[in-house]
Amino acid sequence: MTHKPLLATVLGQRQERPPIWIMRQAGRYLPEYREVRSHTKNFLELCYTPDLATEVTLQPLRRFDLDAAILFSDILVVPDALGQNVRFEQGEGPVLDPVSAQTIAALKPERALEHLAPVLETVRRLGAALAPEKTLIGFCGSPWTVATYMIGGRGSTDQAAARLFALRHPEAFEALIDILVATSVDYLVAQFEAGADVVQLFESWALNLDDVAFEERVIGPNRRIVEGVRARVPNAPIIGFPRGAAGNLARYAARTGVNALGLDYATPLDFAVKHLPNTLPVQGNLDPLRLVAGGDQLDARVDSIIEAFSDRPHIFNLGHGIVPETPIEHVARLVDRVKNG
């Protein structure tokens, strides 16, 4: 079997130089992406058209020596597949018709995988197209994060609508989480069966929760997904990315059972080194705006991150998604720095 450095790192093998991929690496900072996007009616059409989704997934690997491709899709294809009205509005991002305690029962998990068939076809095509040493990453949103959009109707800075809903309507909230856990397990298993090498759980809104809520809404559902996937795909490699988890990071890693832990850019390097076992693979955590600014400060921060994690398996990445205004030459500089020092 061809050696895949990034997959090997997820599985606990330290590499001489850390492998690298970039969250949102297929996206608006690339003119070739903008060209493809300009010919689609909306963002979801792009996600559900295998020819186009395959093309934009591969675009960044043609420019840069990245070690992985990540499926081009979105975490909100799951509520869309469940029958919730999801749309992406120019200048506003995702907008959903909010679910209520009464309408959660109307969701249709039995139709989800059929609806997501085009995404799975994209995974199959990517598996056939990628060079053998490149890792193919699949993903889904974690239940709490997806639920915040389903309940609030859009992203928010404090997730107040979902937090209140969980407290005021605990039974309805648990029913929603149960649907999302089961659907996510089916979806991730299908991605592995279609050719994904590893999957990532995006818990993008792990912040703004007290310790009890974090245990119930983040750790519990993520653990159920990990266990559910591995019951059907033994030893499935899984990365967890609980953005904003802060002091809950070690607990999340230990209790969910993920293979590797993604770190956001607010996680201090010395905190991660001190509180995370050096056998635990970590991923991250460059501030995306350092990549926008570039220059000597970028080189210095890249070097300090690599040095901090030099005694453990480490995947170099940003601490959140790349932003549209990122200069392409800065990305090339980053990849070269990581690969060649």
**Model confidence over 245-255: pLDDT tens digits?**
999 999 999 99
Is 92 a residue whose pLDDT tops 90?
no
Model pLDDT, residue 1: 61
Is 28 one of the annotated active-site residues of the chain? yes
Radius of gyration, CA atoms only, the chain: 19
Pairing label, strands 86-89, 93-96: antiparallel
Q: Into how many domains does the chain fold?
A: 1
Rounded to two decimals, the pTM is: 0.97
Distances (CA, A) of 88 to 42, 91, 93, 140, 169: 7, 9, 5, 18, 28
Q: Which residue range(s) make up the domain with 285?
A: 5-340
Q: Is 149 a catalytic residue?
A: yes
For the stretch 187-230, pLDDT in tens is 999 999 999 999 999 999 999 999 999 999 999 999 999 999 99
Give the active site residue among 29, 33, 149, 187: 149
Q: Is the pLDDT of residue 164 over 70?
A: yes
The pLDDT of residue 93 is above 80: yes
Helices (H) and strands (E) in the chain — how many of each?
17, 9
Catalytic residue (choose from 24, 163, 243, 301): 24
pLDDT, tens digit, 9 for 90 and up, residues 28-40: 999 999 999 999 9
Active-site residue identified among 29, 67, 74, 163: 74
Catalytic residue among 37, 63, 255, 333: 37
In this predicted structure, what is the pLDDT of residue 196?
Answer: 98
- CATH number assigned to the domain comprising residue 174: 3.20.20.210
How many Cα atoms within 13 Å fall on the side-chain side of residue 208?
Answer: 15
Single out the catalytic residue among 28, 63, 87, 255: 28
Q: Which residues of 308-331 are buried (b: 16+ CB within 10 A; e: fewer)?
A: bbeebbbbbbbbbebeeebeeebb
Say yes or no to pLDDT of 90 above 80. no
Active site residue 265: no
Active site (annotated) includes residue 252:
no
State pLDDT tens for residues 313-336.
Answer: 999 999 999 999 999 999 999 999
**Which residue from 146, 218, 219, 227 is spatially nearest to 189, judged by alpha carbons?**
227
Classify 105 as helix, strand or coil: helix
